[in-house]
Every structure is written in C-alpha cells, then in structure tokens.
Amino acid sequence: MTDASVSYEIPGATALCSGKVRDLYTLPDGTMLMVATDRISAYDFSLEPGIADKGKILTAMSLWWFEQLADLVPNHVLSTDVPDAVAGRALVCERLDMFAVECVARGYLAGSGLQDYGRTGAVCGQQLPAGLVDGDRLPQSIFTPATKAEAGAHDENVSYGAVVETVGADVAAELRRLTLAVYDRAEEVARERGIILADTKLEFGRRPDGTIVLADEVLTPDSSRFWPAETWQPGRPQPSYDKQFVRDWLTSPASGWDRHSEDPPPALPAEIVTRTRERYVRAYELLTGETLVASPRAP
C-alpha cells in the first residue's frame, strides 16, 4: 500500500495508508479499520471512474466466504460494527504481521500461469502435463506463489523455494497447505453454484502467538477468476464474472492504450463500467444466494 489521501474522514480513526482499492485506518483501541472503496485497479494503475457498489460487494463476499472457511483457518475480522460513513464497506480487523508473499492457488490454466506454462511447461517451477490449453482444468490444484510487490511494481511468480527463503520452511509449508485447503473448499462451493473458480490470491498474517490468519479480502472478483460453468470451454479465453473484463478492454484496440508505455490508462467508458458492475453483482448473487441492495447512486 502507498501513502496517499484516504477517501473518508472518520472521527476517532487515524488514516494509515491508501492502496489502489482499500483504505486503512488505525482505531483508538489499536485495531484496524479496513475500508473497501469503489476504486478499481488493473496493471498496477487505479482506474477512473470507480464501479458503483464495488466496495460493498467485496466486503459482503469476503464476509460470506470467511464463514464458509471458518473451520479451515481463522480470519482477521473482529467486527462489522463500523462508522455510518463506511457502513457495508468496512471491517474492523486484527492488526497482524503480514507475510510478504502472495499466496496463489490455481485449479485451471489461465493468466500468468498460462504464460509461464507456454514458455516452460511449468508454473512456478511445477511441471505440468504436456498439451494443456487455455482454460484447462489441472490434474490437481497447485500452489503458485508470487512476490508482494511494492507500490508501482509488479507481482512476480516465484518458486516455492523462494517462499521458504522469505518466511522459513515451516511457515512456507503451512501457507501452502492453507492456500490449497481454502482453494479446494471454495472451488467445490463455487462449482455447486454454477461458477468455476479458476484461481485465487490469498493473503495471510501472523498473530503475536504465531497463529496464521487469513486476512485482507478473500475470493472476490478482484482476487479470483470466476467463470460461468455453463460456458466453460478449454482452448479459448473464458467469459468471466471478474476484473478480467476490464483488463481485456484496456489491452484491446478500443482503449487506445499501450500497456508497455509510461502513460496511464484512459478513463473507463460508461458501458465498460456498467458491464463490469453487472459481473461483480452476478458473482455475488450466484455465490451467496442474496440479492444486492444497490446504493441510491448505483444504476
């Protein structure tokens, strides 16, 4: 996260930092207030405009998933009793010592995993069967960690050995175990609801007593690939209920943006904003079975 202006003035809370999507505050009792804004990011840029209700969707989905996973791993949520200014989009959380590792699990071949496989036949040093194509289901889920980059830098896939060097052998083994346990549970739950969970990124922290805790957000369209199960067809890019829709527009001729230039991306057209919101809402409603109550300003 970067030092930046936060989006809300919250009495009694001290602004700590602002990331591409979330703002963090310290509360008087030493706990953290994590606020999910409506900002959306891609390729290490915060984009304009935001997506109406996105912060509420991410928060509600994370809470729902934390409940589904409670028997597998503790989480950092202490309370949903938050100031009115951020109601529905904020959580009171434990302060943790966060691990400098992006814990990624993949059950299907896509994204940077597909790119790695195309170059080497492996992902993060893990050899995969020959002949796999875009969207294929893997023989079993795999742990494919990445660096947790500083602001403005790119996360990079790394080997399991690099994780061991970063956090130690025992912690690395537990992060891998927990990541795959969470993914395997969530993949099954999502599939029952008509969604393929292709991959996901998790973050973990450590309590003072050494307990490893699931933190940040979990299993949202920002951090996961959600594909409609009914249209899944390996060998091509998949339709999705996630942020990939925005990435695809940014790298299309329609945007006029060169990803490899130093120029920031253009503003998102109204149609792209609307269709992105529709995907996030669809993912939320399919998974949770709840109907999103839109904010007054949402379409």
Domain boundaries along the sequence of the chain: 98-245
Q: What is the pLDDT of residues 67-105, one digit of tens each?
A: 999 999 999 999 999 999 999 999 999 999 999 999 999
- Please state, rounded to an integer, the average pLDDT across all residues of the chain: 93
Long-range Cβ contact pairs of 287-292 (< 8 A, separation 24 or more) = 287/61, 287/64, 287/189, 287/190, 287/193, 287/195, 288/60, 288/61, 288/64, 289/193, 290/60, 292/53, 292/56, 292/57, 292/60
pLDDT band at residue 1 using 50, 70 and 90 as cut-offs: very low
Q: What is the pTM of this model?
A: 0.93
Mean pLDDT in residue range 199-219 = 97
pLDDT at 18 over 60: yes
Q: With beta carbons less than 8 A apart as the criterion, state whether 135 and 110 touch.
A: yes
Quick one: pLDDT at residue 154?
61
CATH number of 98-245: 3.30.470.20
pLDDT at 152 over 50: no
Based on its alpha-carbon atoms, the radius of gyration of the chain, rounded to whole angstroms, reads 19
